[in-house]
């Protein structure tokens, strides 16, 4: 008699990828960052399916914002969620131009701001929103918490 697994079958591989579209990004410790994001996802009660971070310019992300969300303005991040049950599947587009500008405006390092935006995208996929003041405050609290664990 064969024993059935209680684990839910998933077609996803449990991986995080970093991709560049129209510019070249460089940051260190990619494996450590992937592990950090995966730990945050688990801590939020989800499992990692397939998560892609796509780094691009302001102009590239503006076109996505216009075409898919009908928003004609620059943004630092757009998250497309394809989750199935509690399995994280999604694409997170990040404007490196916005990250650099936001870091400068907020007197933070580029690296710190990039990590904040990376975890921000993962938190969106875990169900957190940031449209209201209350939602944004909770999102910032979660970002700060996970940044402290990096």
Q: What is the CATH number of the domain that holds 106?
A: 3.40.390.30
Instruction: Please tell me the predicted confidence (pLDDT) of residue 82.
Output: 94
- Which residues constitute the domain of residue 70? 15-149
pLDDT in tens, 19-38: 999 999 888 899 999 999 99
How high is the mean pLDDT of the chain? Answer: 92
The answer to whether residue 119 is domain-embedded is: yes
The answer to whether residue 79 is domain-embedded is: yes
pLDDT in tens, 46-62: 999 999 999 999 999 99
- Does the structure show a pLDDT above 80 at 6? no
The answer to whether residue 127 is domain-embedded is: yes
Q: Are 146 and 36 in contact (CB under 8 A)?
A: yes
Number of domains in the chain: 1
* Lowest-confidence segment of 9-18, 24-33, 63-72, 119-128 by average pLDDT: 9-18
The answer to whether residue 93 is domain-embedded is: yes
Instruction: Please tell me the predicted confidence (pLDDT) of residue 28.
Output: 85
- Does the structure show a pLDDT above 90 at 4? no
Instruction: Please tell me the predicted confidence (pLDDT) of residue 12.
Output: 66
The answer to whether residue 117 is domain-embedded is: yes
d(C-alpha 111, C-alpha 95), whole Å:
14
The answer to whether residue 68 is domain-embedded is: yes
The answer to whether residue 69 is domain-embedded is: yes
Instruction: Please tell me the predicted confidence (pLDDT) of residue 1.
Output: 41
DSSP letter string, the chain: -PPPP-SPP-S---EEEEEESSS----S-HHHHHHHHHHHHHHTT-EEEEEEEEEE-HHHHHHHHHHHH---S--SEEEEE--BTTEEEEEEEEEHHHHHHHHHHTT--HHHHHHHHHHHHHHHHTT---SSHHHHHHHHHHHHHHHHH-
Place 141 in a pLDDT band, splitting at 50, 70 and 90.
very high
The answer to whether residue 9 is domain-embedded is: no
């Amino acid at each position: 008699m064969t024993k059935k697994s209680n684990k839910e079958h998933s077609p996803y591989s449990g991986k995080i990828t970093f991709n560049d579209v129209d510019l070249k990004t460089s940051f260190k410790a990619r494996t450590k960052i992937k592990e950090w994001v995966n730990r945050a996802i688990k801590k939020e009660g989800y499992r990692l399916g397939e998560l892609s971070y796509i780094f691009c310019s302001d102009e590239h992300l503006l076109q996505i914002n216009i075409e898919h969300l009908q928003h004609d303005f620059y943004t630092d991040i757009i998250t497309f969620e394809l989750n199935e049950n509690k399995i994280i599947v999604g694409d997170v587009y990040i404007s490196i131009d916005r990250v650099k500008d936001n870091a400068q405006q907020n007197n933070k390092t580029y690296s710190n701001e990039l990590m904040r935006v990376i975890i921000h995208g993962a938190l969106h996929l875990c169900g957190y929103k940031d449209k209201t003041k209350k939602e944004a405050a909770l999102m910032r609290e979660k970002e700060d918490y996970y940044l402290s664990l990096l």
